[in-house]
Structures are given as structure tokens and as C-alpha cells.
Structure 1
């Protein structure tokens, strides 16, 4: 899954691309790239030009981008709250949303520390192994959670990864009880994050804000960071509801 996401990101930087150049850019073998492209073509995410035999991103991704367009204004709304977190903790802060089985990091402010965990805007990661993903899924309808479990594979990336539907249900229950989610080294063992949901006027999570830090730092700032992200997410939720006009009748 991670290589497929890397491939999509790389193709997003090019109008068309061939197997050889993608292989070089991603440091993957040509057969591996060819298999990934075949899978993405079958899923509708990639198209092949009949004349040049090169590849480009397909209309399915355009449709996904169009479906999240209303959420792009949330980036501007959340930005000042992310900036406050970044100044206070000097760690990487993120705004993420959920599309299908993946979290997409819509905005990030990277830490300026020499030893840091850094994510680029546009990065996609499996939702069940991220704090952002669990913070959103925990406050979505149950049928969406069950569909997620049915449609996605639970790859064990580290010994701490969420590796089954039952484990995800348990962690989402804990997230609902606490009001925030934690990624305790599920993607990378030394990378941890705490994440709080951003809600719409109906009380459903539409995004989440997180602080990501090396393990050695994360648990030193844990209590303060959790309180801060809950506050930032609550402020972002309120500002977004007002900006969208959903709160006028309330």
C-alpha cells in the first residue's frame, strides 16, 4: 500500500510517466512498478496512453479531488490554530482528512528541530494506523467503520500497528471515550502522535488535527499536547461551522 501511495504522489508531479522513470524516482524495480501500475489501472486510478504507452493519473482521482473540494477552505480556517500549536511545541502539526481507506494530510507545519518527524501536505497513509484516521473514524457512523474494515487490508507495519478489524473497533471505542486518538508508533516505531477530531454541525468528524513527534519527545509533552490539540480542534470546528453557515440557525 505504501509503495502504491508513493507512486500516486510521484505521478502527481508529472503529466505522463513511463515505467523506467518511475522506477528510478521511487528506487523500485521495473517489475514492481509495472505490477503497481496494473493494480492502479484496474482500480481506475491510473490510465495508459494508447500511443506512447506512458501513464497518467486517472479520472477516479479527479472525482475524489472534486468530492473533497468543499473541505479545502478548512485548511485556511485551521491554519492559525495549527500555527499556535507549532509555535508552542516546536513539533510537526497536521490537518488531515479521510478519503476512502487513506488519510490525506491536507496541511502540515514541520518542526524546525534537527530530529523531527516530518510529513508533506498530500501524503497518504492507511487510516487505521494513524492518529488522524482513528480520530475521524471514531466519530463517523458505525456503518462507515464497518465498511472501512471490510474494504481495507490491515498490514502490520510495526509491532504496534492496528492489525485487525477487532483491534480497530477496540481502539475506536477508546478514542470515543477519551475524545482523542493516539498513534503509538504504528507507522514508524519512533514516531508518535496525538490527534483530535474536527466536527461539522451534525457532530460528525470531517477532519482531525494532530501533533507528531519522536517518541522520546512525545511522552514528555503528552498531557499538554493533548489538551492543546483538543482546544485547537474545538476552535477549528466552531470557526468552520460559522464560516459554512451551518451554525446560523442554532
Structure 2
């Protein structure tokens, strides 16, 4: 069993996060690495505050305060819903799976996904986080950041090898970011997930600040890199349309 979180806040957040996929105390203890007694105590506190609910069978669920908080967050992300037509159009033009991810702090999170015209489904899902250094959207975001923001962020990133193709040194990553700046889009050539290729472009808000990105994804066995890169103009157009939904000014 892995060592669980240390502080009281960390323990509470770990249990709350695990509630998204687990409902039994034993499962939550296994997922968080915490003793069952600690998990039970945390759940009682969460229930008292409305962040958890217990049913008659001893299962725990996310409580009404979690749902209310999620609703308020989604309201703030209303422009993401308004961007759906651009994402749907991109999927229709390319046949690929289309993703839209937003920066939340120093993390990218999928906020929308349109499945491709394939019998299979990508493993990604709305709410899942994705790495900045190995994903197409992540590299598009990093490449668009001013150096004053990029340098400290790169210093904090863990350049984990997601696949043998992942850039795991700052120098190698900066080389790929330079390529993304030159073309206006970023490529993930099986760098984040084996057998999957993506092309991504950055999305900006009404101030011109980077807020996320749009990408198309396909299996490597179905599309060579050049074939997927051929969709880049469509990805860039979709990213501009999504940016427009956030009130971004038209590029000069």
C-alpha cells in the first residue's frame, strides 16, 4: 500500500477525490493509502459539511455541496459550452476525436470531447487532467506563454517519460516548443500515449491570455503523422473560433 497524504486537509481532499470513483470505505482506503479508520473519520466530517452522503448500505457518495460547487464552476465555464459548435464542426471535417482542455492553475483539464467517427473510443474523458509537456494541447499552451511565465512553469514541471518519445529534458522540450511557435500548432507524435497522435492549437480569452487549447487525435496505425498534420489549418481555425467564444480579439 502506498503511503497516504499527510496533513488533515490533504487527507480530506484525497478522500473527496476518491469519492468520484469509489463508494466503500475499504475501496477509499485502498485508493488513498489511508487507514480505514482515518477514511471513516474524514467521511463523517465531509458528511457533516454536506460534501458527502451515506446511504443505508454503507456506501458514500458526493454530497450536495459538491454538486453545487460543480454547478458554479460550470457556469463560469459557459464559454466552453458556447464553443461546442466549433468542436463539432472540427470533428465533422476531420473524423478525428476532438478535445478541448482548459488551464486550471498550472494544470490542463479536459472540459469537452467529441468522439471521432470510429468504432473505438479514446481513453480521455471530460474532467481528466493531461500533462503539459507531452500532450499536443499542453505544448501549444507552453509555446504560447511569454518567457516570464514559461520559465518558472518549466522549472516546476515533472518531465515524466510517458512513452519512449516524450521529451524529458528542458532542452528537448524547448526545441519542440520552438517548432510549435514556428508553425502555430503543436504535435504529439505518440509522446503522451503509445499509438496515439494529436495536433493541437492554443485558445485565448478576451484579454489575449492563454486559457487552453483544442486538438484532434487519431490512432497512429490509422493516420501517419503527415496525414494528421494536414488537419492543422482546421485545428487552428477551430481554436480561433473557440477563442472568439471567450471574447478574444481577432488576430491582426
8 Å Cα contact 1:193/1:218 also seen in 2:
no
Find the aligned partners of 2:86 and 2:241 in 1 and give their Cα distance: 8
Question: What is the CA–CA distance in structure 1 between the aligned matches of 2:45 and 2:132, rounded to whole Å?
Answer: 30
**TM-score of the pair, normalised by structure 2:** 0.71
Secondary structure in 1 matching 2:167 = coil
Offset from partner CA, 1:39-93 (integer Å, 9 cap, x none): xxxxxxxx95636589889xxx99x979976761231222001101112222210
Describe the SS at the equivalent of 1:87. helix
Deviation string for 1:195-250 (max 9, x for gaps)? 011122443321111001101233263243111101111122223217xxxx5xx9
The 5 A counterparts of 1:159-238 are 159-219=164-224, 221-238=227-244
Q: Is the 8 A contact 2:214 2:235 kept in 1?
A: yes
- String of CA shifts for 1:84-119, please: whole Å, max 9, x gaps: 111222221010012344320010011241245342
Q: Distance in 1 between matches of 2:223 and 2:16?
A: 31
In the alignment, is residue 91 of structure 1 matched against residue 82 of structure 2?
A: no
Per the normalisation by structure 1, the TM-score is: 0.72
Residue 20 of structure 2 corresponds to which residue in structure 1?
A: 12
Contact kept in structure 2, 1:199 and 1:237, CA below 8 Å: yes
8 A Cα contact 1:48 1:54, kept in partner: no
Tell me, in whole angstroms, the C-alpha distance in 2 between the residues paired with 1:69 and 1:51.
26
Does residue 79 (structure 1) correspond to residue 75 (structure 2)? The answer is no
What whole-Å deviation, never above 9, does each CA across 1:8-56 have from its counterpart, x for those lacking one?
Answer: 8643356x763x2147xxxxxx4xx444x69xxxxxxxx9563658988
Rg comparison, structure with higher value: 2
- Counterpart CA distance in 1 for 2:190 and 2:235 is 19
Give the match's secondary structure for 1:171: helix
Q: Unaligned stretches of 5+ in structure 1?
A: 24-29, 39-46
Note the 1:23-102 alignment, pairs <5 A: 30=30, 33-35=31-33, 50=41, 72-102=77-107
Secondary structure of the residue that 2:122 maps to in structure 1? Answer: coil
Superposition CA RMSD, Å:
3.7
Distance 2:105 2:245 in 1: 26
Does the aligned pair in 1 maintain the 2:141–2:212 contact within 8 Å?
yes
